[in-house]
Structure formats: C-alpha cells, structure tokens
C-alpha cells in the first residue's frame, strides 16, 4: 500500500512471550487502543515507525507527480482543484509524521532516513505522469487503492495512527472523485481525449495493483502485523476488493482494463484477474523505477534549499524569546 | 545546533460553540507561525472558528501507570449519576 513490505518480526509463541507482552496482546485483542506513553514491545514500536514513516513519505513524495501538472491544468477550476488536492497530500504527510513522532523518532531523523534511501515510499510514485489524463488516473486508481487500505486502518490498534487515518479518510474521497471526474470528461470527450484516458489506464493499472504489495503467500511480514492490528486486511484481500470495485467503473467510462484474463467469476463472486509483474515491483522498490532518482532528488533538493529558511526562522524565534 | 522546529499541540473550536478540542500537532519556530501552520494543516475545510496552539513541552500529562489511582475511584460512586435515584412517576418530570 502506501506502506509496502514493512519489515516486522516473526510471530513468537505465547510461552516465549513475557507476561508484559502477553498482557499487551490481550489489550489489543480486546480492541483497546495503545497510546504513546504506554508500554509496548520494541518490535511493535519499530514496525509502526517504519510503517507510519513510509506512509508519511508516500504522501509527501506523492505530491510530485501531480504537482507536475498544476501549471498546466486545462482550466482555472481544474487548477484550483489540483492545488487543493496536492495541499491535502502535504497535510496527510504532516498528520502521519506527527503520529510517527509520538513513538520517539524525530521528524528530522525520519526525513534523513528517506533522503538516504534507507526508508521507502510507495512504489507507485516512481511512475511518471505523462498527460493530463494521468492526473485523472492517479486520483481514480491510486487514491482509490489508498482508500481501500486506509479505511480499515482507522480501526488499527495505535491511537495516534488511527486518529490520523480518520482525518485522512475524510479528505481522501474528494481525491478519488475529482480523479474520476477528470476521467469522465476525457473518456466522454473527443476521440483523442478518450485515447489519452485509455493510455493512462493502461499505464497505471498494474502499478496500482502492485500498491497492495506482493501476494500474501510471499509476504513474510503480515502475520505479526495483523496480530498487532496494525495491518487489518491481507494484501490479496484488498487487491481483490479494489479490482471488484474498479472494473465496473472502467466499464462505465467505456475504457478497457489492460488484462485479457479479467472476467467476472460467478462462483467466487469476484473478478478473476492477472497478477502484475512482480519483478518490476521489486526493481522499482530497489530504486530502478522510471522516476526514482528524480523523485528522491526533488525531495533532497527541497530539503537542502530550505535549510536556510528553517535555521533563519529558528534563530529569529530564539532571539525574540531572550 | 539542531534547527528542528519545536512541536506544538493544536486545539480548535468548531462551528457550534463547543470547547476547543485537540486535533493534532505540528512543528513551527514560534507561536505566530504555529497559528498560521495550524490554519493550513487543520482547517482547510471550515473545521473551526478559533485556534489555540501550545508548545507540547509545556503540557503536563498524567502518566498511563496512574490510570488506576486517578480514575478507578469514580467507578464506585454511582450515586453521582442521576439514574441512581428512583423518583416516582407521580412527581412528574425531574
């Protein structure tokens, strides 16, 4: 998802856990929220920092592919909408960084880990946005996939993360709908516009499916996270839900999902579909996607170029205090 | 010297005259910018009519381990709730 392949530890049998760890697990099983200053296993804390940090980084880096189109939006209204959307993404990143910081990591540490490549952001933002239709496809598919993951996370066990998710989900629906609105305009427009919409769907379909992460049978990190309720659904479950929801939406647009195997399976009550090319996913995660260097480069440059502003404002504040 | 901006907690009063409510936190170099940032981060959709910001360091919080001594005494004092008392119907609304 926005957090993919988050490393965690292997599940340990009950008799190997300390009484404190067992009591902690029981609190989670009872549906209690864990709050910042309370005792928590080190693994829970570390996994959450990785997951929330990666989620925050994704929101921030996710501004870049769309920000690319702000100056070239086709109308003033579309431009205002896109600015509002990109500003929301910045806000989502900030909510999430704050949630991560309650676990005892600083904002600067998190950013340093992103900039050095030690922490990741979602693979999806390493793909380029080549046409205006891509902005529609990102809202419709990428934000649509994000919602699938974020709605259940509102119930996750860590209080600050759950509360950040509540705020984010309230705003996310606008993102998806404005994307679909762009897709409708394009798909029902001139043949050239429709072709652009189809091209955007062709390029963003499989990368969107990859957002959910590898199949559960290959996902080594899920079990403990699900026990801790910081991951609520399995990757395959969410991916299936996403395809089931999206296929009829594509049909309404008169666009074709680029998958010959896509077909309704009456027996299962869901769509059959092809898996994405997972070797591509691992390449993108390892840094070899189409835009990895550009995206991270833009973040590092923004951080470096902003250094004098951060320091100057802090120096000013200190001077005024004394 | 670290230039990381201090953390501020943000409280917002919504439209309907309720108390200021904690909505989250943010980093800012000083109070004036904390207010400006709070407006941008937490009130993009008309969420409030008033903002308070306070440095997180200035907040004193109860410790989770004090939960018992602090809050359990209230559990046994059910006579503090109106439903503890049976008032006959004949008395009318009370």
What are chain B's domains? 2-85 (3.10.20.520)
Tell me what the mean pLDDT of segment A67-91 comes to: 96
Report the C-alpha gap between A106 and A71 in whole angstroms: 34
Q: CB of B10 within 8 A of CB of B26?
A: yes
Contact assignment for A94 to B41 by CB distance below 8 Å = yes
pLDDT (tens digit, 9 = 90+) per residue, A96-132?
A: 999 999 999 999 999 999 999 999 999 999 999 999 9
Q: CB of B56 within 8 A of CB of B26?
A: no
Contact assignment for A310 to B25 by CB distance below 8 Å = no
- For residue B10, list its beta bridge partners: B24, B53
Confidence bin at B41 (pLDDT 50/70/90): very high
Question: Who wins on pLDDT, A98 or A3?
Answer: A98
Report the C-alpha gap between A212 and A205 in whole angstroms: 12
pLDDT (tens digit, 9 = 90+) per residue, B10-36?
A: 999 998 889 999 999 999 999 999 999
Count of A–B CB contacts within 8 Å? 51
Q: Give me the sign of the Cα torsion angle A105, A143, A123, A86.
A: negative
B62: left (phi over 0), alpha (psi -120 to 50) or beta: beta
Confidence bin at B1 (pLDDT 50/70/90): very low
**Which of A83, A94, A100 is best to mutate for the B interface (most B CBs within 10 A)?**
A94
Report the C-alpha gap between A265 and A269 in whole angstroms: 6
SS3 track for chain B: CCCCCCEEEEEEECCCCCCCEEEEEEECCCHHHHHHHHHHHHCCCCCCCEEEEEEHHHCCCCCHHHHHHHHHHHHCCHHHCHHHCCCCHHHCCC
Residues of A in contact with B27 (CB under 8 A): 107
B44 touches chain A (CB under 8 A): yes
Q: Which residues 6+ apart lie within 8 Å of A111 measured at CB?
A: A303
Contact assignment for B30 to A317 by CB distance below 8 Å = yes
Q: CB of A322 within 8 A of CB of A88?
A: no
For residue A13, is pLDDT > 80? no
Q: Which of B2, B27, B64 sits opposite A38 (nearest CB)?
A: B64
Report the C-alpha gap between A62 and A72 in whole angstroms: 18
For residue B64, is pLDDT > 50? yes
For residue A14, is pLDDT > 80? no
Contact assignment for A317 to B29 by CB distance below 8 Å = yes
Nearest CA in chain A to B56: A102
- When the pLDDT of each residue in chain A is averaged and rounded to a whole number, the result is 94
- For residue B53, list its beta bridge partners: B10
Q: What is the pLDDT of residue A219?
A: 67
A304 touches chain B (CB under 8 A): no
Dump the DSSP string for A255-287.
Answer: ---S-TT-EEETTTTEEE-PPP-HHHHHHIIII
pLDDT (tens digit, 9 = 90+) per residue, A132-180?
A: 999 999 999 999 999 999 999 999 999 999 999 999 999 999 999 999 9
For residue A229, is pLDDT > 60? yes
Query: What six digits make up the tokens of A293?
Result: 């260097």
Q: What is the pLDDT of residue A217?
A: 78
For residue A1, is pLDDT > 60? no
Confidence bin at B65 (pLDDT 50/70/90): confident
Which residue, A238, A276, A49, A65, is CA-closest to A146?
Answer: A238
Residue A223: Cβ-neighbour burial (10 angstroms; 0-12, 13-18, 19+): middle
CA–CA min distance B42, chain A (Å):
8
Nearest CA in chain B to A38: B64
Between positions 83 and 122 of A, the ones with CB within 8 A of B are: 84, 87-88, 91, 94-95, 98, 101, 106-108
Q: What is the pLDDT of residue B2?
A: 63
Q: What is the pLDDT of residue B67?
A: 86
Tell me what the mean pLDDT of segment A300-309 comes to: 96
pLDDT (tens digit, 9 = 90+) per residue, A194-228?
A: 999 999 999 999 999 999 999 877 666 788 899 99
- When the pLDDT of each residue in chain B is averaged and rounded to a whole number, the result is 92
């Amino acid at each position: 998802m926005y957090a993919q392949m988050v490393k965690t530890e292997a599940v340990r049998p009950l008799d190997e856990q300390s009484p404190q760890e067992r009591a902690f697990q029981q609190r989670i099983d009872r549906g209690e929220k864990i709050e910042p200053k309370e005792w928590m296993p080190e693994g829970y804390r570390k996994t959450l920092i990785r997951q929330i940090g990666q989620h925050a980084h994704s929101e921030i880096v996710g501004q870049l592919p769309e920000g690319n189109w702000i100056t070239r939006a086709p109308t003033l209204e579309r431009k205002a909408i896109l600015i509002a959307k990109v500003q929301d993404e910045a806000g989502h990143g900030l909510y999430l960084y704050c949630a991560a910081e309650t676990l005892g990591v600083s904002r600067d540490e998190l950013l340093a880990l992103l900039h050095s490549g030690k922490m990741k952001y979602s693979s999806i933002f390493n793909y380029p946005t080549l046409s205006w239709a891509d902005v529609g496809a990102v809202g419709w598919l990428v934000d649509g996939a994000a919602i699938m993951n974020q709605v259940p996370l509102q119930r996750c066990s860590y209080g600050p993360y759950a509360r950040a998710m509540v705020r984010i989900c309230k705003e996310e629906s606008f993102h998806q709908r404005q994307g679909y609105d762009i897709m409708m305009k394009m798909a029902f427009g001139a043949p050239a516009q429709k072709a652009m919409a189809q091209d955007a769907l062709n390029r963003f379909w499989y990368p969107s499916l990859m957002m959910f992460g590898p199949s559960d049978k290959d996902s080594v990190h899920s079990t403990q996270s699900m026990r801790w309720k910081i991951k609520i659904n399995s990757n395959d479950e969410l991916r299936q839900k996403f395809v089931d929801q999206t296929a009829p939406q594509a049909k309404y647009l008169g666009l074709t999902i680029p998958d010959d195997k896509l077909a309704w399976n009456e027996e299962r009550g869901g769509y059959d579909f092809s898996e994405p090319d997972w070797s591509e996913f691992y390449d993108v995660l390892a840094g070899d996607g189409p835009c990895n260097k550009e995206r991270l480069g833009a973040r590092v440059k923004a951080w470096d170029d902003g250094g004098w502003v951060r320091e100057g404002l802090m120096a000013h504040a200190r001077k005024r205090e004394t | 010297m670290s230039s990381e901006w201090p953390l501020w907690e943000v409280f917002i009063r919504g439209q309907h005259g309720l108390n200021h409510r904690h909505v989250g936190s943010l980093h800012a170099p000083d109070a004036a910018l904390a207010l400006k940032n709070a407006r941008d981060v937490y009130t993009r959709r008309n969420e409030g009519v008033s903002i308070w910001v306070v440095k997180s360091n200035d907040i004193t919080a109860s410790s989770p381990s004090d939960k018992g001594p602090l809050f359990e005494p209230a559990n046994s004092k059910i006579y503090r709730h109106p439903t503890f008392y049976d008032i006959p119907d004949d008395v009318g609304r009370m």
